[in-house]
Structure 1
Amino acid sequence: MVKSAVLGFPRIGTGRAIKKAVESYWAGNSSAEQLAEAAKAVRKERWETIKNAGVDIIPSGDFTLYDHLLDHSYNFGVIPQRYVEQKLSGLDTYFAMGRGKQDREKGIDVVASEMGKFFDSNYHIVKVDHEPSTEFKLNFNQQLVEYEEAKALGIITRPVLFGPITYLSLVRKSRDAPADFEPLQLLDKLIPVYKELLSQLKDAGVEAVQIDEPILVLDKAEAYGAEYKKVYEALAPVAPKITITTAYGRVGKSLDYLKDLPISSLHLDLDREPKQLDAAIEAVKDTKLGLELGLISGRNIWKADLKAAKALAQKAVDVIGTDRVVVSTSSSLLHCPISLKVEKKLTAQQLSWLSFAEEKCEEVAALAGALNGKESALFEQNTNDISARREFERSSDPAVRERVAGITEQMLSRQSPFPTRREAQKKLKLPKFPTTTIGSFPQTKEIRQARAKFGKNELTQQEYEAAMEAEIKYAVDFQERIGLDLFVHGEPERNDMVQYFGEQLNGFIFTQLGWVQSYGSRYVRPPIVVSDVSRTAPMTVRWSAYAQSLTDKPMKGMLTGPVTILNWSFPRADISKEVQSKQLALALRDEVVDLANAGIQAIQVDEPAIREGLPLRKADWDNYLKWAVDSFRLSTSGVGDDTQVHSHFCYSDFGDIFPHIQRLDADVISIEASKADLKLLDVFKTYGYSNEIGPGVYDIHSPRVPSEQEIKDRIAAMAKVLPVDLLVINPDCGLKTRGWKETEESLSNLVAAARWARETFA
């Protein structure tokens, strides 16, 4: 019989239970024991949801309080000395590794580990330092504990863990490590710990394990045949049956060695790369290797076409038989909201298009049933819903399509080259080492309450706008008081940097409770693109113009770029991302022009997701980078030379695409740098940069306050690599998640350090 499987499930809990429990613990309002009980309740809920959907193979070991890669490091005893020295409890050490910790009274001050994007998703992993002396030990067998916990509930699960090669490929090389060191060189040290973990699972009666090796979808993995052979020949004799999963892309030539590994089954992402199935069938047909077919998308929220998925799966069944085929999700469902059942404001038509994590479990089970000759009512309804969605997709907005078709090369370029623009922008009267922020200021309880009351009609439009104006005035007065140079309005009116814009554009729909984890306790509700996108009215001009009216200092207008809006939404599946991005770019182009016409002299169009959206295979890069960069330029090139265009980038490795960052031709770019120990400066040594640049001088995703000296040291390091007349001083990212007290202390230190720099590098 064909079985069904799910590779992972959202860890956030109904009603964002884990966010609330974790933040309560951080605030000192609950105990470690209470946090553990909340986590246990969410795990129970997850397993029961998957089981009740009819899924055969249920994951365990994929839960986390912060990040699953961080869990892996902590569980394997990789705790850098700077955290050990703080002498914290185990739980507090774990959280300090993720978000840093500062308690001046107790003498505690430690920075967070580096963060990075998980493949091409908006999920952030925590990358703990590794160096040649790193040792591994089994600190905690999370997979065994969760397996036993589920078993006590009457639910048999398949434990999930990162594979050793993927793990070592994702973690961070310590900045102090030798230049020729790579974490993968630690493989021989790591294998014995995996053997210990897996043998404990086997001794406990675990029949099968899921070992995630998504690194296999990258080009570099094609050279790892010897490493994979070494690892899995060592693990197979002591482990339960092993399924290797390869989510997020195509396996490619790595299939040549994967088919010979001593494993039970190989999972393929057939949602992203359905064409790889034929090669996989051919490779395994004369072996005993099973195929797990990732046919239900773990990355989008569209209902699967079960009829088409069944036809694809049938190709494998016809060749290798039902006993060797499992149908599954293409990846973990952590990238999806939990359930459609709580969405009360979407129309019946809109609901019929969508499938969240719970519904995807039902789809997987229905697909397996159909392959076993038992098509359910859900399968029949799916066929009708897909047909209706396809009919809706055929409708379009001719004006939007015509405008995209009319884009010219001239629309993609500023009027003059940067040196000419820079002369025109001297009217901003900014000093050397100008200080600014990335855009947002703390979203306080009062701001959130005002927004909630407005949404419930408990505040009138006039009352809500008055409340937001008061917050903006506070932010402007604050910037005047501490001495920043280029101001922002603080964005109090914005719920999210993507959702805010989607709500004012045609073509989007929104969930009430469709939360998805971005990192730690940070969750977002991605908008959903359902049709052609256009702007009906200015979106930000009212607020930026009001802020500018309060000060003689220049005010920076704040927009989210087209590629980031697209990548941080759930895009349409019926037309290309390129077309959707250019539709967004034209809408934002109008907004940029309106801001400039309203007297806003600097405009920041953020594109933190431009690196995130990069295809995983280099053969696919050129096409993406062409339309992604063109989309940014289309957004920003409608203004005169005297308008200073900024862009911001964070939490991605930009080294591979830095020439394309240069091609954006922004007047000023700001890039997250301090969280990664300024390692991005190495990129500037290689490529140089001719426009203005603001490498972040402190990490805003940690509650700790950087000292003035710490910021001075970072500016001095930057000045060794970059022309000092091009340096802008700013934090790593926006300050939305921070409190006002730490924000004032941090920015005061930043301003003081900039003044020091003006004197030191005069």
Structure 2
Amino acid sequence: MQTSIVAYPHIGKERELKYLLEKYWRKEISAATLEKEAATLRQVHWQNQVDGSLDYLTINDFSLYDTVLDTACLFNIIPTRYRRLGLSALDTYFALARGYRDEKGTVAPLAMKKWFNTNYHYIVPEFSDDCDIKLVSQTPLAQYRETASYQLKKKLLLLGPFTLLKLSAYNGSKGPATYVPALIRAYLEFFRCCQQEKVELLQLDEPALTLDLQQEDLNLLKKLYSELLAGKGKLQILLQTYFGDIRDCYDDLIKLDFDALGLDFVEGEKTLQLVSSAPFPTDKILFAGIVNGRNVWRNSYTASLNLIKNLQLQGINLVLQSSCSLQHVPYSLTGEKNLPPALKEKLAFGEEKIRELLLLKELATADPAADSTAVTPTVNTAKNQVKLLPLQTKATYEQRAKLQQQCLNLPLLPTTTIGSFPQSQAVRQNRRRYNKQLLKLCDYEKFNYAEIKKCIRFQEEIGLDVLVHGEFERNDMVEFFAQQLSGFVVTQNAWIQSYGSRCVKPPIIVDDIKYRQPMTVKWIKYAQSLTTKPVKAVLTGPTTIVNWSFNREDIPAQNSILQLAAALKNEVAALEKSGSKIIQIDEPALREKLPLRKVDQPSYLETAVNAFQFLHNSCRPETMIQTHICYSDYTDIMPWLDKLDADVILLEASRTSKSCLQNPAFLQLNAALSLGVYDVHSECIPSVAELLTAIKQRLAVIPAAALWVAPDCGLKTRTYKELAPSLKNMVTACRRMRQMLPLPER
């Protein structure tokens, strides 16, 4: 029995990669320095796997931005508009991810979407009609050569062709099938290079196999791998899946000439049943994902050992591994000095999960009578099973819209932002000093009030119609609320990568969630006192808070969502009582944990929608309810967006506007709509002409009376140097557009 992990976190124990990237983007270090420091970070990650006594060393799981983008660049899947920039290979790579602007104009970045049902964002490869697919880089093999001194079995990781095709966009007249022959040739060329380099095992990641597969998908799968496996020669190949089971293709895969198959026994509801019903081939190795790579609780050793025993009894050649990449959990528990010892004993981050694999291996090969209960942590027991009360009858959207317009008197095409404004070094330092008890509460609040005042004045000068207070008191849109609700624990350094250099620090749900006291009222009330324009209050919704936290494992996530809805309803009531006329309840992660299998989706969506409705159902019809959702494929949740019964839905759409605008379901929403007009995650500043074009595109499908104009996400990651001209241009474009439109009837 041996041990492995699917992949290691990219970002580093102290977020070293984040700071390296940002220095390079600010032109503070050279490309050579970035590459050198990145190589050093890779060496640390490999050494940690050696020190953890794993039997396999995983290589090419490191990325400067995103492994999907790495694969696209490896095979020359780079649209012509980026090639024309004449940049170096490295800067072309970053232009694909972040966009590029010079005196000649702007090239927008590629689309960015959620990686299956995780909070990680991948860059969407784009196939175009003139795409010349071929192997153009030796980067994975160069990294393989870097590990020559390590005395472990080595496996080289690469995204598989099926998932690459399924997750990509096709900008032209050709569909995925057109690119299959060239893609097969490119992968076969890579196989030949692997054989020349004497790669021991090639891991092809195919998480898309856990989706619902149709016959055309199965045909594509067989087409790809029948030819690839026929040309693999002596190269050993591991087909790695995760995030669920492969019920639609398991029988096909075990008949193909793979040397090993990686299956998820944590999220794979039917994985054990599949392996047991159709005997796993004796000439293949099973890489069994039994340690949860997506949650932070310690492994239940008794359950895992029973699973291992079951697999052993079937005579399966077994490798124990994580259920998926460890990039979805924090790096190490060693940085957590303030967690209660009793809680810390129940947790396992990345480094600890590697040790869990070693312990499982030792227990599984020890005396069968050995007691494993001593290393199995106890879990909480749910005490507060929440059942939401029946919803009250509410005025229709049309009735509410009329009352809200009378109350707010907004112009046609109202302009606003999503919520957060830049967090300067001074803002972060003020918060750190207060958290370290170096600053009195009154001084901490005085500073924040001054920042709110500057933010309100800034928005008034620019001419925005609906303002926000800027969220200077908030370290994070989830952690801020978790710190003030009972049932959560927040960490010091439990960072995980969201995209590129952006990291988040999810709270941990440890108990039942309850409301304590108002959390946002004083800040919103002060901001509104400074202006006659409406200031919207911004909350994070219950589904997003749960999805962006590490949830309990003793109760379903839906229970925690309902508990949060019951708690946050008190905050909505307090805001309305204090005079808030617009309340925005953000659910950017509504779709994030949507089950991958369609049969499981209605139950999840029903809970999410009911929780959202419960929050605002008792509000006065004059109170406008907004919500924000981002970086998702909205098509499959469109009917549920309507059921939210929000008055305004603000969607990220700057990178996916084409697919959004071509979706007729947008016309059927009973809500006003904003499709973000520019990408806040790019440093490019949109021109008035570009923004005017974006507004016109939206007006082609959305009535002017139902369209709002806003950026596509919060502005926390931008600087005022970038922010000011972008928002000014947006307001200017909107005012010009109003002059072209007929006056609305009042």
Match of 1:238 in 2: 233
**How far has the Cα of 1:108 moved from its partner?**
5.6
Match of 1:423 in 2: 402
**How far has the Cα of 1:5 moved from its partner?**
1.1
- Aligned-partner Cα distance in 2 for 1:341–1:680: 44
- Any unmatched runs of 5+ in structure 2? none
Match of 1:163 in 2: 160
**How far has the Cα of 1:759 moved from its partner?**
1.2
- Aligned-partner Cα distance in 2 for 1:456–1:417: 49
Instruction: Check if 1:541 corresponds to 2:521.
Output: yes
> Cα deviation per residue 1:422-469 (whole Å; 9 max; x = unaligned)?
122121111111100000111111111111111122221111111111
- Aligned-partner Cα distance in 2 for 1:375–1:751: 71
Contact 1:138 1:193 in 2 (8 A): yes
**How far has the Cα of 1:220 moved from its partner?**
2.2
- The range that moved more, 697-706 or 187-196, is 187-196
**How far has the Cα of 1:333 moved from its partner?**
0.5
Match of 1:349 in 2: 342
**How far has the Cα of 1:205 moved from its partner?**
1.6
Report the CA distance shift for 1:596/1:336 in structure 2 as closer, same or farther (over 3 A): same
How does the TM-score come out when normalised to structure 2? Answer: 0.96
Contact 2:254 2:280 in 1 (8 A): no
Match of 2:129 in 1: 132
**How far has the Cα of 1:235 moved from its partner?**
2.6
In structure 2, what residue type is equivalent to 1:410? Answer: L
Contact 1:215 1:221 in 2 (8 A): no
Match of 1:141 in 2: 138
Instruction: Check if 1:645 corresponds to 2:625.
Output: yes
Report the CA distance shift for 1:286/1:19 in structure 2 as closer, same or farther (over 3 A): closer
Pairwise mapping of residues 231-630 of structure 1 onto structure 2 (< 5 A)?
231-236=224-229, 237-238=232-233, 240-285=235-280, 287-321=282-316, 324-373=317-366, 383-384=373-374, 386-387=376-377, 389-390=378-379, 393-394=380-381, 396=383, 400-401=384-385, 404-405=386-387, 407-410=388-391, 415-426=394-405, 427-630=407-610
> Cα deviation per residue 1:628-683 (whole Å; 9 max; x = unaligned)?
11111112223110100000111000011101101101000011112113421122
- Aligned-partner Cα distance in 2 for 1:375–1:438: 58
> Cα deviation per residue 1:303-338 (whole Å; 9 max; x = unaligned)?
0112211111211111124xx111111101110110
Instruction: Check if 1:746 corresponds to 2:741.
Output: no
- Aligned-partner Cα distance in 1 for 2:279–2:619: 58
Report the CA distance shift for 1:610/1:61 in structure 2 as closer, same or farther (over 3 A): same
Instruction: Check if 1:204 corresponds to 2:197.
Output: yes
**How far has the Cα of 1:508 moved from its partner?**
0.5
**How far has the Cα of 1:688 moved from its partner?**
2.3
Instruction: Check if 1:737 corresponds to 2:732.
Output: no
In structure 1, what residue type is equivalent to 2:638? Answer: F
Contact 1:3 1:325 in 2 (8 A): yes
> Cα deviation per residue 1:709-735 (whole Å; 9 max; x = unaligned)?
111111111111111111111011110
Contact 1:165 1:184 in 2 (8 A): no
- Aligned-partner Cα distance in 1 for 2:71–2:164: 8
Pairwise mapping of residues 210-225 of structure 1 onto structure 2 (< 5 A)?
210-220=203-213, 223-225=216-218
- Aligned-partner Cα distance in 2 for 1:422–1:524: 36
**How far has the Cα of 1:182 moved from its partner?**
2.9
Contact 1:216 1:222 in 2 (8 A): no
Report the CA distance shift for 1:553/1:492 in structure 2 as closer, same or farther (over 3 A): same
- Aligned-partner Cα distance in 1 for 2:22–2:246: 39
Contact 1:685 1:721 in 2 (8 A): no
Secondary structure of the 2:421 match is: coil
In structure 2, what residue type is equivalent to 1:210? Answer: Q
Contact 2:56 2:154 in 1 (8 A): yes
**How far has the Cα of 1:685 moved from its partner?**
5.4
- Aligned-partner Cα distance in 2 for 1:173–1:484: 36
How does the TM-score come out when normalised to structure 1? Answer: 0.94
> Cα deviation per residue 1:538-584 (whole Å; 9 max; x = unaligned)?
11111111100100100100001100001010111110111100111
- Aligned-partner Cα distance in 1 for 2:234–2:425: 50
**How far has the Cα of 1:239 moved from its partner?**
5.7
Report the CA distance shift for 1:686/1:488 in structure 2 as closer, same or farther (over 3 A): closer
Counterpart pick for 1:182 among 172, 175, 180: 175
Report the CA distance shift for 1:421/1:191 in structure 2 as closer, same or farther (over 3 A): same
Match of 2:656 in 1: 676
Contact 2:642 2:669 in 1 (8 A): yes
- Aligned-partner Cα distance in 1 for 2:273–2:713: 45
**How far has the Cα of 1:16 moved from its partner?**
0.6
- Aligned-partner Cα distance in 1 for 2:644–2:323: 33
Match of 2:68 in 1: 69
- Aligned-partner Cα distance in 1 for 2:130–2:227: 23
Secondary structure of the 2:721 match is: helix
Contact 2:490 2:508 in 1 (8 A): yes
Secondary structure of the 2:299 match is: coil
- Aligned-partner Cα distance in 1 for 2:562–2:449: 33
Pairwise mapping of residues 10-25 of structure 1 onto structure 2 (< 5 A)?
10-25=9-24
> Cα deviation per residue 1:474-519 (whole Å; 9 max; x = unaligned)?
1100011010000100111111111111111100011111100000
In structure 1, what residue type is equivalent to 2:57? Answer: I
Contact 1:47 1:155 in 2 (8 A): no
Contact 2:686 2:729 in 1 (8 A): yes
Contact 1:117 1:652 in 2 (8 A): yes
Contact 2:692 2:733 in 1 (8 A): yes
- Aligned-partner Cα distance in 1 for 2:471–2:741: 33
In structure 1, what residue type is equivalent to 2:395? Answer: S
Contact 2:423 2:472 in 1 (8 A): yes
- Aligned-partner Cα distance in 1 for 2:364–2:177: 41
> Cα deviation per residue 1:369-393 (whole Å; 9 max; x = unaligned)?
22222799xx96x733534x33xx1
Match of 1:98 in 2: 97
**How far has the Cα of 1:90 moved from its partner?**
1.2
- RMSD of Structure 2 on Structure 1 (CA): 1.7
- Aligned-partner Cα distance in 2 for 1:517–1:580: 24
- Aligned-partner Cα distance in 2 for 1:553–1:588: 26
- Any unmatched runs of 5+ in structure 1? none
- The range that moved more, 226-235 or 84-93, is 226-235
Instruction: Check if 1:111 corresponds to 2:147.
Output: no
**Percent identity between the two aligned chains:** 38
**How far has the Cα of 1:246 moved from its partner?**
1.2
**How far has the Cα of 1:535 moved from its partner?**
1.1
Secondary structure of the 1:425 match is: helix
Higher share of residues assigned helix: 1
- Aligned-partner Cα distance in 2 for 1:375–1:463: 62
Instruction: Check if 1:194 corresponds to 2:184.
Output: no
- Aligned-partner Cα distance in 2 for 1:182–1:371: 48
Match of 1:58 in 2: 57
**How far has the Cα of 1:279 moved from its partner?**
1.9
Contact 1:658 1:683 in 2 (8 A): no
**How far has the Cα of 1:204 moved from its partner?**
1.4
Contact 2:391 2:614 in 1 (8 A): no
